[in-house]
Structure 1
Amino acid sequence: MAIDWDADVLGAVMSVFGEGDRSVPASLPTYTPRGGTPFPLPDAVYDEQYTRVIQEGEGSEVSTTGPVIGVREAVFTAAGQPQPRQGDKVFVPSKPQLYLIQDVQPDSHGHILLILIEARS
C-alpha cells in the first residue's frame, strides 16, 4: 500500500506548525514567481535559524545558519503554479520580510525546502 505523503503526513503536520491563520489571508506567507502573480502559501513552515552543513571537500565542512521555509508541492499544483525556482520571492508577514529564493530542495515526497536570503530594497 502506497503512502500519500501529502494527505497522510505533510498536510496534517504542516497545518499545525505552519505560518499564519487560514481565516486571515494577510497572515499567510505569499509566494511570487518571477513574472507571475502572487499567491498564498498555507501551511508553510518558516524557520529563521536553519543550519546547513556544506561539504567543502577533503573532509572540511562549513556550516551556515539562515532562513528557510518549507512548503508543500501540492499547494503549487492546486494553485496552477509552476514549482518554485531560484530567484522567486516569498514574503513572510510574521517578520515582516521579503526574501529571495536562493535554493530549492525537494525531498521526493511532496515537501520542498526553500533556502532564503533577504531581498534588497
Structure 2
Amino acid sequence: MSIDWNVVVIGPLIGIFGESVTYTPRGGAAFQITGVFDDAYLKEVMFEDATSSVTTVSAVLGVQLSQFAAMPAQNDSLAVASVGATYLVREVRTDSRGGAKLLLSKVGP
C-alpha cells in the first residue's frame, strides 16, 4: 500500500503552518494559495575545492503543488500579506512527494 503524501502529510502541514499568499504566474492572473513562509531560510554552498563554503539567507515558501494549475516557475511573483512584502521566485525545488520549496528574492516592501 502506497502512502499518498499529498493527502496524508503535505496537506495537513500546509493546513496547520500555512498562510495566505497571492501568487501571480509570469504573464498570468493572480490567485490565492496557502504556503509555509520562512523569511530566514539558510542555505550553505560548498565551493569546488570542498574546503570552504558560504552560507546565504533568503526567503522561502513551501507549497503544495496540487494548488497550482501549472508548475510554479522562475520569475513568477507572490505577495505574503503577513509580512507585507512582494517576492520573485528565484528557483523552484520540487520534491518527489507533491511539494516544492520556492526560493525567493524580495522585490518590494
TM-score range, shorter chain: over 0.9
Q: Is residue 30 from structure 1 mapped to residue 18 from structure 2 by the alignment?
A: no
| Residue 120 (structure 1) shift | 5.2
Count of matched residue pairs: 108
Indicate the residue corresponding to 1:15 in structure 2.
15
Which protein is richer in strand relative to its size?
2
Distance in 2 between the 1:39 and 1:91 partners? 11
Instruction: Compute the TM-score of the two structures, normalised by the length of structure 2.
Output: 0.94
Indicate the residue corresponding to 2:94 in structure 1.
106
Indicate the residue corresponding to 1:25 in structure 2.
none
Indicate the residue corresponding to 1:23 in structure 2.
none
* Native 8 Å contact 2:85 2:108 kept in 1: no
Indicate the residue corresponding to 1:6 in structure 2.
6
Any gaps of 5 or more consecutive residues in structure 1? Answer: 20-27
Indicate the residue corresponding to 1:67 in structure 2.
59
Which one of the candidate residues 81, 90, 99 is aligned to 1:93? 81
Question: Over the residues paired in the alignment, what is the CA RMSD in angstroms?
Answer: 1.2
Instruction: Compute the TM-score of the two structures, normalised by the length of structure 1.
Output: 0.85
Identity %: 37
| Residue 48 (structure 1) shift | 0.6
Any gaps of 5 or more consecutive residues in structure 2? Answer: none
| Residue 97 (structure 1) shift | 0.5
Q: Is residue 52 from structure 1 mapped to residue 43 from structure 2 by the alignment?
A: yes
